[in-house]
Structure 1
């Protein structure tokens, strides 16, 4: 029996609280090209869920990483077209960029000018979760010289920074913006990650929030968080730039 993907989330639209923006800048909803949605049917369901959160514009960001997801503009475009065809006329505005792991593969993309920026020439970059990029500030400067505006994805998830919080200040003051995950604030990755996320907000270091949506488990966790008093209090502290990316 075929599974009804639109029943994945067990929430009525009327019960769902909206996110505090209409543009989401980080997700993995393009089918079959990274560790996000495995197929078009899942992707369509995830897009519908994002619409229920009040998202009207999706800048989706498949992984580009060495040896695992060595995506190119061509591979991303082909999968993106499958999703757009499946969504039809009811689709929200969806464009794609990428989430670039800072590795040798990324340095080749930078050198060969084959990056896919977000609007405003922003570039979403990420560290490995095992160790930081060896010259992050140097790379940020190199990207800026090329006219890009770097955004560090989910800085709250890099545990090797937790005992040296001054590193966050150093990176942020170098001109690199920060994008936090809703899942971190919801406690999905644990208490310590959640605490760092709130600390970054209190410091005023958070420019963007993103769903980083990969699957139905993520969707459920975010939806549940949106129902909480904690979420309603949090929104008052945010000054996000998501909807400024044009």
Structure 2
């Protein structure tokens, strides 16, 4: 056994599948599922730092978590969704994208990374997206989602540098799961080839396989579901 694993966003499709897969593998003493939709000790709200701090404190006891997965994100909310053109830009919607996709995971790192062991292999991973790659942006659009994920990628890089000073075997990475059949992606699946649309269970296993193959030298980078590194 290698300590405890924490999955944040465990009520979502990918987060739930990640927690299920970790429990089935039986590598960790315990898999802790946290979500905004949960109540009591399993509640966490990425838009409320006090909630994040309280959750981290509850998870900090021995054995300390050696794996923390942030499986959260926002792409659409009701009638709001990815902007097609600059005419669709809206200050409140941009701010919400950054609050959930960038600031929330960064605050999770702020409170959870210090609770992870200072020696031995540890992994902190947050779901990012290929569209957050600046060099890979050839189509435009999706302003808020792209920008918030690009900002998340910079957060991951910066967090990785600081965390390796604390633990030289730590790994802090972003993960692109591909297009997964969840409510988040459902409105945008029409043009996705069937072989590139993954169910949540397959996506979770692919991501865990990627994490298993990473080394401390990979910390600070973003990796796709197939292990390919995504350019900044």
Aligning the two structures, in what range does the TM-score lie when normalised by the shorter sequence?
0.3 to 0.5
Q: Provide the TM-score with structure 1 as the length reference.
A: 0.36
Q: Provide the TM-score with structure 2 as the length reference.
A: 0.37
